[in-house]
Chains A and B, each alone.
Chain A
Amino acid sequence: MAQDWKSFKPVLIPNIPDLAKIDVYEKNGGYSAIKKILTDDKWDSQAVISEVKEANIRGRGGAGFNAGMKWSFMPEPDGGPRYLAANGDESEPGTFKDRKIFEFNPHLFIEGCLIAAYAMKIDAVYVYIRGEYREFINMMDKAIEDAYKKGYLGKNILKSDFSVDMYTHSGAGAYICGEETSLMESLEGKRGYPRVKPPFPAQKGLWGRPTTINNIETLANVPHVINNGASWYKSIGPENHPGPVLYGISGHVNKPGVYEFPAGMKITDLIHEVCGGVRGNKGIKAIIPGGASTPPIRGDVIDGVTMDADGLREVGTLMGTAGMLVLDEDTDIVDVITRISHFFDHESCGQCTPCRDGTGWLYKLMSKINNGEGEMRDLDLLIDVCNKMEGRTICALADAACWPVRNAVERFREDFEAKCKKTVYAVA
């Protein structure tokens, strides 16, 4: 890592009082990136895309895809409307970071959207925010209103010929609407059933028009890349997964919360140095590093493991949303996985049979085992159900439901076995 995390100064949510107010944001260098592009240095849209691609901002919504690369998939303009959908659905259990941007630095996010809109020749930005975040939607509405008043949104921004509109859209309680095609269905005023891909959103997205979907935190990184350059950005954290990250840490630590540090933080530093250690000085049973759909890992494998795509792959898990759950040695892991299975059973949209039935089966089997009524062969049955679900559905929710179960059965086998009744084979 190029920079020591202890000397890192937060940039997504710097410690500046009232930064959510537009004049405070401007006084602290806010909206200078869009000025640089539109008026000072007059970048063309290709130059913006190249710089962002070079920075390798890996999507913070879970999949870790290079944002600039995604932008480059947008087709040439054909005169019709083009859209950006900013994904603030934030419903993956363990994840509570985008709300910090809405509350503490909304204009950084708006500026990121402006740059994305300029680069991709977008006409309107829809900010999809989970319905439970009513307070944060109100904050975003206020910030958008202020940006319109100051001429950063609307027609002829900063007197250039660039125009874009921005609106919030409230969800209403459906995890699946965070999946990008479900989100578009929801924005179109329908039930949030994911769409079959292809066609991909860049070809046929919102209202059948070219659309890009990015996470809120992903977009908040963009102004810094324009202001300081891609090489500056890549000097933060690991080369293959650079930049600042909002780590949301929950569970059995002394100081849970959202912290901004470079990508690639050691898990043990996050727990012991940043979060003040495990409650009651207990040992660590397990870590779920990036939300409910990322595979759990054992506490005894985390030494030296870093929070980035490569570091986590080495121990068989994923970065996800960097919403990390810490579980102490007394945790009943079977109980935790059962609750995760309950979540996916509840949130499956029911479109695909393997997912609708499979998530139900996983939850039923997990409950049976959790209640001490399981048998050893139920563990094989769990894996069997996963085999019949994975890769056979419209969206990734079915896979996400399988990963925690499959990996927990493998990695915490003794806990599962201890809960299973010993099967008695009657002698005929």
Chain B
Amino acid sequence: MADTYEFSKEELEQIEKIKSKYPEVQSAVMPVLWLAQDKFGHVDSDVQKLVADTLGLPRAHVHGVATFYTQYYKEKMGKYVLDVCGSFSCQVCGAQEIIRHLEEKLGIKEGETTEDGMFSIREVECLGACGYAPMLQVTNDKYVNHLTKEKIDKLIEDLKAGKEPEFESMPVVYHQTSDS
């Protein structure tokens, strides 16, 4: 049976608020796709239709936007999507070892989802945490920095128990001179 998707009354109100931020309704596409993905876990073609119909925009347009941006999941993903940064700062600090460790631990390859639907692994581009390499992001949300095999093992245990990582504040570093 195909899933049916709809927005609640509160969500529709929220969508009206989003629309009021912009002079044209088309600008609401991205924020409403986000809202939909947060609720349904993905924006497959049925969810894209819902977004298009709710905003009164052509379905082809919403599809075009959803497929341009990599953070929108065009199909169901694992409950926890582990996006490991593979760009250069993380690369030279061991990103590939982190990916290999995850692959071994979860028994899947990069780009795949575990059979129980719990985890997906993806190698992604720079996430803006280059000084805290290697690092990953969990399902478009929290960053986990300074990864080690031990930290990965702990993260997987926690996620399996439903415990999601907390926001890690990475302070600006103040230079200490020897005389200060």
**Residues in A lying within 8 Å of B, measured CB to CB:** 6, 10, 13, 15, 81, 90-96, 99-100, 103-104, 130-135, 167, 169-175, 186-192, 207, 246, 248-252, 255-261, 273-274, 288, 292, 323, 325, 327, 331, 335-336, 339-340, 343, 346-347
CB neighbors of A among B23-39 (8 A): 23-24, 26-31, 33-34
Closest to A260 in B: B172
CB neighbors of A among B154-177 (8 A): 167, 169-175, 177
**Would A259 and B175 count as touching, CB distance under 8 A?**
yes
The answer, among A15, A260, A327, for a CB contact under 8 Å with B92, is A327
- Residues in A whose Cβ lies below 8 Å from that of B70: 172-174
Q: What is the bound-complex CA distance between A251 and B17, given in angstroms?
A: 43
Interface check B148, CB cutoff 8 A: no
Chain B binding surface SS class: loop
CB neighbors of A among B10-58 (8 A): 21-24, 26-31, 33-34
| The 6 residue pairs across chains A and B that have the minimum distance between CB atoms | A172-B69, A173-B71, A173-B70, A250-B130, A256-B131, A93-B126
- Residues in B whose Cβ lies below 8 Å from that of A130: 128
Smallest Cβ distance from A381 to chain B, in angstroms?
A: 23
Smallest Cβ distance from A56 to chain B, in angstroms?
A: 24
**Would A347 and B125 count as touching, CB distance under 8 A?**
yes
Closest to A261 in B: B175
The answer, among B23, B26, B64, B170, for a CB contact under 8 Å with A257, is B170
**Would A251 and B89 count as touching, CB distance under 8 A?**
yes
- Residues in B whose Cβ lies below 8 Å from that of A171: 30, 69, 71
- Residues in B whose Cβ lies below 8 Å from that of A260: 172
**Would A336 and B132 count as touching, CB distance under 8 A?**
no
Interface check B137, CB cutoff 8 A: yes
Given contacts A255-B173, A259-B175, A274-B175, contact A323 B24 (CB under 8 A): no
- Residues in A whose Cβ lies below 8 Å from that of B71: 131-132, 171-173
Q: What is the bound-complex CA distance between A397 and B24, given in angstroms?
A: 29
Closest to A193 in B: B68
The count of A-to-B residue pairs whose CB atoms sit within 8 angstroms is 164
Q: What is the bound-complex CA distance between A288 and B142, given in angstroms?
A: 28
Given contacts A167-B21, A250-B133, A339-B88, contact A257 B128 (CB under 8 A): no
Q: What is the bound-complex CA distance between A10 and B86, given in angstroms?
A: 32
Smallest Cβ distance from B160 to chain A, in angstroms?
A: 23
Closest to B72 in A: A172
Smallest Cβ distance from B102 to chain A, in angstroms?
A: 18
- Residues in A whose Cβ lies below 8 Å from that of B171: 104
- Residues in B whose Cβ lies below 8 Å from that of A96: 128-132
Q: What is the bound-complex CA distance between A186 and B89, given in angstroms?
A: 27
Q: Interface digits, B65-88 against A, CB 8 Å rule (1 contact, 0 not)?
A: 100111110000000000000111
Most buried by A among B22, B31, B130, B140: B130
**Would B131 and A258 count as touching, CB distance under 8 A?**
yes
Q: What is the bound-complex CA distance between A258 and B170, given in angstroms?
A: 9
**Would A188 and B24 count as touching, CB distance under 8 A?**
yes
The answer, among B21, B33, B68, B126, for a CB contact under 8 Å with A94, is B126
- Residues in B whose Cβ lies below 8 Å from that of A325: 88-89, 92, 130
Interface check B114, CB cutoff 8 A: no
- Residues in A whose Cβ lies below 8 Å from that of B170: 257
Given contacts A13-B172, A134-B140, A343-B125, contact A93 B28 (CB under 8 A): no
The answer, among B28, B92, B129, B177, for a CB contact under 8 Å with A189, is B28
**Would B30 and A170 count as touching, CB distance under 8 A?**
yes
Q: Interface digits, B92-111 against A, CB 8 Å rule (1 contact, 0 not)?
A: 11000000000000000000
Interface check B127, CB cutoff 8 A: yes
**Would B141 and A134 count as touching, CB distance under 8 A?**
yes
- Residues in B whose Cβ lies below 8 Å from that of A169: 27, 30-31
Q: What is the bound-complex CA distance between A171 and B69, given in angstroms?
A: 8
**Would B177 and A256 count as touching, CB distance under 8 A?**
no
- Residues in A whose Cβ lies below 8 Å from that of B31: 169-170
- Residues in B whose Cβ lies below 8 Å from that of A246: 172
- Residues in B whose Cβ lies below 8 Å from that of A331: 92
- Residues in A whose Cβ lies below 8 Å from that of B68: 174, 191-192
Given contacts A131-B69, A173-B69, A189-B26, contact A292 B172 (CB under 8 A): no
Smallest Cβ distance from B27 to chain A, in angstroms?
A: 4
**Would A90 and B128 count as touching, CB distance under 8 A?**
yes
Q: What is the bound-complex CA distance between A170 and B169, given in angstroms?
A: 20
Smallest Cβ distance from B93 to chain A, in angstroms?
A: 7
Q: What is the bound-complex CA distance between A135 and B129, given in angstroms?
A: 13
Closest to B87 in A: A93
The answer, among B27, B89, B124, for a CB contact under 8 Å with A188, is B27
**Would A94 and B130 count as touching, CB distance under 8 A?**
yes
